[in-house]
Amino acid sequence: MAQQFDVVVIGSGPGGYVAAIKAAQLGLKTAIVEKWLTKDEKPSYGGTCLNVGCIPSKALLESSEKFHEAQHDFELHGIGLKDLKVDVKAMVKRKEDIVGKLTGGVAGLLKGNGVTAFEGKGMLKANKVVEVTLHDGKTETLEGKNVILATGSIPIEIPPTPTNGDTIVDSEGALEFSSVPKRLGVIGAGVIGLELGSVWKRLGSEVVVLEAMDTFLPAADQAIAKDAFKFFTKKAGLDVRLGARVTGSEVKKNKVEVTFEDSEGEKKETFDKLIVAVGRRPYTEGCLDKGCGVSLDERGFVQVDDQCRSTVPGVYAIGDVVRGPMLAHKGSEEGIMVAEIIAGHNAQMNYDTIPNVIYTHPEIAWVGKTEEQLKSDGADYKVGSFSMAAIGRAMAQNATDGQVKIIADAKTDRILGMHIFASGASEMIAQGVIAMEFASSAEDLQLTCFAHPTNSEAVHEAALAVDNMAIHKVNRKKR
């Protein structure tokens, strides 16, 4: 006999487990289904983000940045070190320890909130029935008054460079190197490619990034993107080649030879390791029975409305498997919204204030519209920016690269976007998110008292610069 639940969640990533916890907190009888197994065949919660994505990559980014800082910057502080070395296995173990604590924490939260967990693969069938194939081969049948699809995404593979788990890897494999590759190739100069390329560059690899597009970070504000490109190629030492389209690869004697085309014609490069980081796609394989009624769009995303309702009443989808940016925090907020809707509350989500972050060093972060988007829309806007080079705290940290840029409506003064390239941008961007969430004006930030000395003073100065009133730089002349 099928077990009955108010809510059945398929997938326990940042969208799924948050939705399940919130639903349980709202008094709904809730189940969650998760198929993830660790390398030693143990069930694990948290999805891609906690197991092989956001968290482990940030752990390695932090470790590699500390090594790089000790190697290159400590002498500026009067700290002398000799014979620095990298123990990659120790770094990877630390990463795995952090992952273990967090995934175990999610399991504890689910249990503590009364969520019933099923460890196996869930498939949605007709009439909101979820069939779970457990890891031991047995099956369980769950009937949900409501079902939430939170099955996430997987790396995109490209025919010219099929991954083999050794010399050619995806983002997951790039977190498992046991030593520093002498020469590393990265296909894709997006978020994942830049972050992973940065990790191994800091640890000593020669890194070449091949990007098919001619524009660097086209989704970002181009003033920020140009600042970042200059830093990564001139200071950080990444060899980023734009307009380089990979056409083939061949593994020879534990190395991989990559063929690509650019404006000068066909070229070849040989690497010890190659990371394929060209993006991710929604994961629905084996999760949707033909008779379930859920519709997918032409790119494989589950079709949903603004409140994440699918084409089947009572079936919702959230996170990477639906439209919008593939961001953990976006999935989590959608999970909370859906749980509240199921519980009978009037819940909505503001998709205009979702922050984007690239965790390089310095970090890149933005919220709202870019100047390029506003130009395309024909909007009347005004811009203020401020360089981190003039910030005292940034000087003390030896982190003066980058800038803060704020865009406001020329008539209403309402903030339309904030864009940051700076050390700590991932934390600073929250100020822009909060401001936009409350429909703040540039003047609101101008009248706010910021602590001194902090890097966030650049936000204050950029807001002042919107109206040519910055204090710590010479303002442009008014027309």
List C-alpha distances in Å: 320 to 312, 325, 463. Answer: 19, 7, 33
CA distance 96 to 92: 6
What are the catalytic residues? 452
Report the chain's terminal Cα–Cα distance, integer Å: 76
CA distance 192 to 173: 12
Token pair 């309702």: residue:
309
H/E stretch holding 235: none
Classify residue 87 as exposed, middle or buried by CB count within 10 Å of its CB (0-12, 13-18, 19+): exposed
What is the radius of gyration, based on Cα positions, of the chain? 24
Q: From edge to edge, which strands make up the β-sheet containing 363-368?
A: 356-358, 363-368, 415-422, 403-409, 381-387
CA distance 226 to 221: 9
Name the pairing type of β-strands 265-271 and 255-262: antiparallel
Name the pairing type of β-strands 363-368 and 356-358: antiparallel
CA distance 401 to 199: 19
Local structure of residue 11 (DSSP, 8 states): -
